[in-house]
């Protein structure tokens, strides 16, 4: 697995339920969109190396969200809705990756162990016995861990089979949505399980993919040539990315999709009711790195 670990990147852009977050090259953070719970109050953050934003399906709640930042010293900061302690991360140490789900936050430690805080009604925070993990992702009600050997482990709600990833192999990246899970294989192909009512799991013909992003009910793939593909729910045009080019990273919110270009600028499509797609004037966004 070591030869494909470079495919696992630090997240420098994130898309939440109704907001978008971008990490600048100087370690500061920008955010636009709904700020009902202070989830965009990141202007004072410094020395950040990765960001995450909780992504909630429209049917789940009214848009309560939170934003998480990983600092260069391995500590974590969080702002936004904290009704179930999902922002209580100030005592975390030695963290190397973060993920934000509905009402919870997940952190990956440098020793391959995982920590989680927040809602645990479906067991989605039961990760204390995980080990040898190299990446984590959080859906609305389930949590997935990518192991060093390219296999996966999952906990939480499995109503639609979104946790049925035990037989996956050679995975280099994984993303969890509302009720589906998507994995990127080392050969550039993509696999998916879970709810497929909008065609969000119809990725079996994809190839040449180098990164993936998962919204509530849509799936996005970044190709090696810098173009982007998307399938699934498209009521707001969140899958209208076929004309994008020169993209180096993608993120998917509930009903919007954002892309980072190689020059550090951003593009976005989809629902913009709260200004979550107003990123055309952003610049200096950090290109993802291992």
Q: What is the pLDDT of residues 232-244, one digit of tens each?
A: 999 999 999 999 9
Mean pLDDT, to the nearest integer, of 3-28? 83
For 243, the 3-state DSSP assignment is coil
Handedness of CA 233, 235, 237, 238 (dihedral sign): negative
Select from 3.40.50.10440, 2.60.40.10, 3.30.950.10, 2.130.10.30 the CATH code of 2-270.
2.130.10.30
Cβ atoms within 10 Å of 108's Cβ, excluding its own: 24
Residue 214 CA: distances (Å) to CA of 6, 37, 208, 273: 20, 23, 17, 20
Please give the Cα distance from 142 to 247 (Å, whole number): 29
Percentage of residues in the chain with pLDDT exceeding 70? Answer: 94
Nearest Cα neighbor of 88 from 73, 61, 107 is 107
Cα(14)–Cα(218) distance, integer angstroms = 15
Residue 216: half-sphere exposure toward Cβ, Cα within 13 Å: 24
pLDDT, tens digit (0-9, with 9 covering 90-100), for 174-216: 999 999 999 999 999 999 999 999 999 999 999 999 999 999 9
| End-to-end CA, the chain | 15
> Do 85 and 118 contact (CB within 8 A), yes or no?
yes
């Amino acid at each position: 697995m070591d030869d494909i670990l470079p495919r696992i990147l630090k997240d420098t852009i994130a898309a939440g339920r109704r907001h978008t977050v971008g990490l600048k090259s100087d370690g500061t953070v920008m955010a636009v969109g709904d700020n009902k719970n202070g989830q965009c109050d990141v202007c004072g953050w410094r020395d950040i190396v990765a960001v995450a934003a909780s992504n909630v399906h429209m049917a789940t709640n009214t848009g309560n969200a939170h934003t998480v930042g990983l600092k260069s010293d391995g500590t974590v900061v969080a702002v936004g809705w904290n009704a179930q302690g999902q922002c209580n991360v100030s005592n975390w140490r030695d963290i190397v990756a973060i993920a934000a789900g509905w009402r919870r936050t997940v952190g990956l430690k440098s020793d391959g162990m995982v920590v989680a805080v927040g809602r645990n009604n479906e067991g989605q925070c039961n990760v204390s016995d995980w080990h040898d993990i190299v990446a984590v992702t959080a859906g609305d009600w389930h949590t997935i861990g990518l192991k060093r050997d390219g296999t996966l482990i999952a906990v939480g709600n499995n109503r639609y089979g979104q946790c049925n990833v035990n037989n996956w192999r050679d995975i280099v990246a994984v993303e969890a949505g509302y009720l589906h899970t998507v994995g990127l294989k080392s050969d550039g192909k993509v696999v998916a399980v879970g709810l497929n009512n909008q065609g969000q799991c119809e990725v079996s013909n994809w190839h040449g993919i180098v990164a993936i992003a998962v919204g509530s009910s849509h799936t996005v793939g970044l190709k090696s040539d810098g173009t982007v593909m998307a399938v699934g729910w498209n009521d707001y045009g969140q899958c209208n990315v076929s004309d994008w080019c020169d993209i180096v990273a993608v993120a998917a919110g509930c009903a919007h999709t954002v892309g980072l270009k190689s020059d550090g600028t951003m593009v976005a499509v989809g629902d913009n009711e709260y200004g979550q797609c107003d990123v055309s004037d952003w610049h200096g966004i950090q290109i993802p790195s291992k």
